[in-house]
Structure formats: structure tokens, C-alpha cells
Amino acid sequence: MSSQPPFEAIARKHGAPVYVYDAHVISAQYNRLKNAFRKVEHLKLHYAVKANSNLSVLRLMHQLGAGLDTVSIEEVRLGLRAGVAPENIIYTPNGVSIEELEEARSLGVQINIDNLSVLELFGQRYPETPVCVRINPHVMAGGNANISVGHIDSKFGISIHQVPHILRIVELTKMRINGVHMHTGSDILDIDVFLHASEILFEAATHFKDLEFIDFGSGFKVPYKKDDIETPIEELGEKLSERFNAFCEKIGKPLTLSFEPGKFLVSQAGTFVAKVNVVKQTTSTVFAGVDSGFNHLMRPMLYGSYHHIENISNPKGKPRFYSVVGYICETDTFGSNRQIAEITEGDLLAFHNAGAYCFSMSSNYNSRLRPAEVLWYNGEVHLIRSRETFEDLLKGQVEVDLTAEAKVETV
């Protein structure tokens, strides 16, 4: 059995571009994280659906034993459709209406609230429904300002300095807080900063007598290229587990330690395969133009994210420098002056670390169609999303005969 998906065969059968996910990598990452916190008696991993919301991926997570972290009512419904029990789904929205929270309540999922006014309103209406509160520790643990959400100016969470307000709402409404949560941001490298934030959360947790779990979010960095740095998960597991167990002993109550990994579980499992349409020499640059763009893979243009690019049609070719670009009528550069094995028109390029926030951010910009998605599972290729067709672009549109309306107005 091949150790990795047969990318070229997949592209021939399902067309390029195409997203390919390796279930074995997902399983390995899940088990690695679980093992890092093996000293914690009660551990719960909720996969962050926004990273990759394909139903088959959600079912795989459920099969591994993970719950789901959702940020919209649609993600909640996807999770339920995938067979995940409501009690294994946590719903952590931002800026949604009370009506959406009420719908989540009716579906029976764990609700996480990050706004004082919403907390008070929800507590007045449903004091019997336990909720989690999202705390902003004012700690910037992520490596990129665009993806760090725990700093003081973030729109996410209730300020740690507003805990007295939370306690006042709890006292007046008699509502029950069963969890406290934080998420400091993505690409965490300095675990001491993360541990500092966790101590702030521990202190906040002491104020809630009905507490059942503490959720530390996620944001663990994965390597994007050879010898790249990543979050030292094993070291974090050792140090945070010790602190968590000590906290549980201090309060005399066993709690559940929760995380919401997304990128950590699926990023390295995904490969985006695109075909080279043109090789174009200009006065200073050699462009390799592929049959895709930021409509399919937005992260390089949105975050400046790095995706290692490999020529899988000519892996042993002489290395040359290329700027890999897309076919969108915008600047859509995947990588500038990358050293890649010599590229010929028709070659297939593999973009690595394409399992998280890639297809889920895709669009039909320029009226281009979204690609297929494939899961490599137990040595077999499974189509888990069909390539879109032109008819899919028209779905939902209502064609109005404007000429006929104009005639009516004239009359």
C-alpha cells in the first residue's frame, strides 16, 4: 500500500485542481495531541470545523473520538449531520443574534458566549441552560497580528477585567456557568506566553462553582517547510497538564481539559494539486501560471501564508526559480521566486499544508468553479466532494426577464 496518496492518478481521474486529504496524517496528529496530554484524566478535543468542514472529515474526527468546535449555526448542523451528538459540539460564535443562540440551544449543543449584553439577555431568558464564557486574557500568544485574537483590542471574548460583571450577571439571573474558555490566536510558538494566559484563566475559573471544564482553545503551529519551527506540543502537554492537575486538586474537583485544534489536525494532511497552464518569461521573472487562483487557495494572499510547492510531474528535474501565480484577474501569487524542479506546461504542482482554511475559504470569484475534494483512507481514494459544474453557479439565481418588465413600465 502506498504511503501517500497517488496525486497524479487522482488528478487524472477527478481533474485538476483538486484537494487531497490524507486520513492517516489526521489520525497521527490527533493521537499525538492526545498522547501529549495523557496525564490529564479528563481530556476532550473539539475539532475546529471552520478549518475544513467537509462532512467526511467531520465523520473521521467523530470516529477518532473528537467532538466539534463550531462558530456558526450552519457548522452546528453539519456536525449533527455527521453523526456527532449535540453534547459533543461546542458553539463559540462571535457577533451573532440572540435568535441564532436560541436555535443552538434548541439543538442541545454547548453554548459559549463572549459578550456581556448577550450573556445577560440569555441568562434572563434561559437561566436553566448552562453556558461557557469566553474570556479574553489580553495575551497575544499567536505569531501573526492578523490571527492573534487574545490581545486587548480583539473583538473576541469578555475582558478578564470584566469578570466582576460576569459574576454580577450570574448572581442576578441565577444562570449556571459550566465552562470558561480562551483562544489567544494561531501559530503559538512561545509556550511560556500560553502558560501565562492559562494562569489567568485558572484564576478566572475559581469564581464559578458549577464549573465542569476549562477550554484553552488552540492555535498550535505546524511546520510549513523543511526544518520549520512548530509549537512544542509535548513540552506544552507536560507543563500545562501539571498545572491543570494541580488546579483541579486545589479546588477539590475533577474538571475536563478541552482544546479546539483545527489547523494542527488537518493542515499537513492536505495537498492541493493544480496543473500548469503556462510558463511565461518576462524581463525579470519566470511565471508558472496554474489552473487556479486565490478563489481556491486564499491564504497566501490573505495572510501571506507559506505553502511549499513541489513539481510532482518532474520531482527530480533541475531546480529553477519560478513565481507561481493563478489565473484570476487579480494579483494572486502563491509564491515568489521559489526554487522548484523545472516546470513544463501541463505539469502538476502540489501545494502542501492545504488541509486547513483552504477549501473552506474558497469562492466562485471570476465565476470559476470550486474543485473536487478527495480523501485518502486505508489505501483507497474516496471522492468526498464532486467538482462543481456550471449549473452549480446558476443554483439559487432567479432569472428575470428585464425586457418584459421594462415594457410593463412603459405602458
Which residues are designated catalytic? 329
User: Which candidate, 188, 114, 126, 213, places its Cα nearest to that of 157?
Assistant: 114
What's the angle, vertex CA 73, arms to CA 67 and CA 76, rounded to 5? 20
Alpha helices in 126-232 (DSSP H): 163-173, 191-205
Asked if 48 and 356 count as a contact pair (C-beta separation under 8 A), the reply is: no
Q: Which amino acid is at 213?
A: F
Q: Which amino acid is at 173?
A: T
- Measure the CA–CA gap between 71 and 140, rounded to whole angstroms: 21
DSSP string computed for 68-82:
EEESSHHHHHHHHHT
Instruction: Give the N- to C-terminal CA distance of the chain in Å, as an integer.
Output: 73
Q: Which residues make Cβ contacts (< 8 Å) with residue 143, sequence separation at least 6?
A: 185, 186, 187, 188, 189, 221
3-state secondary structure of 313: coil
User: Which candidate, 69, 26, 67, places its Cα nearest to that of 44?
Assistant: 67
- Measure the CA–CA gap between 84 and 111, rounded to whole angstroms: 16
